[in-house]
Structure 1
């Protein structure tokens, strides 16, 4: 019985206290996943904001229906016109509809004291994201105003400039934080695995002394590390999904930022990152102990 108990306690090559390793990798991957989710939602939010950037194209008052239809065809054929589901994002607002909206918002009917409707028929044209900077929008404005029957083109220039500046600043900050976070996570996982393998250093040396090749010694460690990395990735992905569902239930508006394809890619990335980081951190740690002298092992 004593021999059996001793054999059970006997260390096997490649075995180490993996619970702390899996926990550390899972925690690190969860942090990366949360940050990745923040980046995805930020990008989606910026896309939604840019989708609402549009030009107001006001038409001449004496324009005919045929001229108006021709202007719509001309605007729809432009490269800068935004498309969604193969349809150009353009809408027509008559001066009567504009007057009704104005009365609803202000409660005042200007026709009572002006005697006529001073508003104009207009088109709202959404612009593709690649054309959404001040220089290009100014050029587009001039291009549309040159169309026969167009009175004036307006857009909120200050809002566009502010959106572009804020998006650029946020993107740079997120990239900087992502790089720092990735370095911290790699160092954390690397140190955790190195400490976990510390208990195996004499067994590694014993295998060397009996003539075992480095590849033979590394194989069980690398196999377990890859498996533990995958397990950590699965647990981190499941935890991230649970947190997402909780956040969406508490703040339903966030569901507008949900992109299932990109979320699946994020989960797959976590699995891949867990396996790769676990593999190479373990490889580095094992190689370190293989190169150590006997005195350095103590």
Structure 2
């Protein structure tokens, strides 16, 4: 067997610099000295005769050579840790971290609560973004798994559909629309809309349906979180766009109003890369999510 060109320590250095954004932060994360981390990086780049990081301000960011390799690099390092812990046995998940992304907190907190109950030693790092930003981050190694909202599963990812939801209008209880059973697409074109960021899967599908109906949408305000959109709708700033399951029936401030056909419908998925699906913490997350789906 040929000798590997790089040691696990060197590979860990690459991963840590990419994740932490600098040599000093990576050194602290790994428990190594800063000169040691700098030397490892220099040795790797000299052997490759190529730079692996670009400097952006005070940060080092993985460039186009390293970025596509980060998911497999992280899977390799996690597998190495599991082999070291159990010599090929099942990982105990007594420690470690799990980096996830999510779009809709209403749909995932019971899953995360169960994960924490079963694996209290694993630290969860969760970030909320639009679905398409999360997918980009997943493919570039920023996340190990993501909960996203999509019309259909992504063909290059492992996708577990957890639920399907109709897209509805979110209106304040004091709005005249709150008493309506349905709203037509023609009426939607007359409404001042409160919208999530452009990377939102719900927004993109809604826009596509509106375009097919020949409806020009009016935007009152773009907001970066679901809760801010809820508060804006409650205070009469405009009409929000959401999935039906995001709005509780007993919410004191907002209600869901159904759209006339054709109604946009979205799936809520847990997704990961194929090479990461069976890695300890990710596998445990998929197991719990699957159990929740079957029990629903």
Band of TM-score, shorter chain:
under 0.3
Give the structure-1-normalised TM-score: 0.23
Question: Taking CA–CA contacts closer than 8 Å with sequence separation of 6 or more, which of the two structures ends up with the larger relative contact order?
Answer: 1
Larger radius of gyration: 1
Give the structure-2-normalised TM-score: 0.24
